[in-house]
Structures are given as C-alpha cells and as structure tokens.
Amino acid sequence: MNKEEITGPEPVGELALQTLVMPRDTNANGDIFGGWLVSQMDLAAGILSKQLSKGRSATVAIQNINFIRPVSVGSTVSCYCHVTKRGKTSLHIAVDVRTSHQLNHSDNLQVAHGLFVFVAIDDEGRPRQLPD
C-alpha cells in the first residue's frame, strides 16, 4: 500500500481550522461523534465564506459528507477548504478533513470530506450579492 492509499491525496485549499479532539467529543467507543466533526467542517467553511463574502453568510446546504475513518481522542483535526463554485450570492466550499496523532505516529490521514453551500446575507437575513 502506498502513502496516497493510506492518507488520501494531498489536501486542496487553505487550512481554515485546526483543533484537538477531547474526551467530551467522543461516543462510548472512544471515537468522535460524526456530528462533532460536521460542526468543525461547517465552522471551517464558514470562516472562508465570511472572508470571501466580506460579511455575514449562512449555511444553506451540506452535501456529500463522507466519513472515511474514525478519529480518536488526542488527534489534531485540520480542515482544509476551497471554493468549488461561486454564484451571485452563493459559495460552494469543499472541506477536506485530516488528522494527525503523535502517539500512534499517524500523520495527515484523510478522515472526511464534504461540500458546504453558503449564501451571503444582509442584516435582515436576506441574500445579498457577493463582492467582486
């Protein structure tokens, strides 16, 4: 088995969020909850969306979340994001999630990926045009 089969392709995009998995984030088996991981992915995509929309934006859809392998306590979770499609008011942001864990010497393992759709919104919560 080669390195790419173990880790997946190199992440595409910018590192948007990095955090440490704590015991409170796990299920009874000691692996993190999928919902916790999705929330980290949404936060990461939201950071990029806010930067590009230069203001408020809201998640309007989450598509094609794939969980590739479990994530354990003590792992560092890194979310890489890039825009796959840009509309007049919306951004489609792909999120690639990687982990590293010092204790078992695993590094840069792809654990999940998905697509998040955001819409730029005004102060009243209505869609607004993205800036150039």
Predicted TM-score of the model (pTM): 0.89
Confidence at 47, pLDDT banded by 50, 70, 90: very high
Confidence at 2, pLDDT banded by 50, 70, 90: very low
Tell me, letter by letter, the H, E, C secondary structure of 29-88: CCEECHHHHHHHHHHHHHHHHHHHHCCCEEEEEEEEEEECCCCECCCEEEEEEEEEEECC
Considering the domain 11-120 in this protein, what is its CATH number? 3.10.129.10
Tokens of 14: 């910018």
Lowest mean per-residue pLDDT among 20-29, 40-49, 72-81, 95-104? 95-104
pLDDT tens readout for residues 19-40 = 999 999 988 888 899 999 999 9
Query: Chain-wide mean pLDDT for the chain?
Result: 90
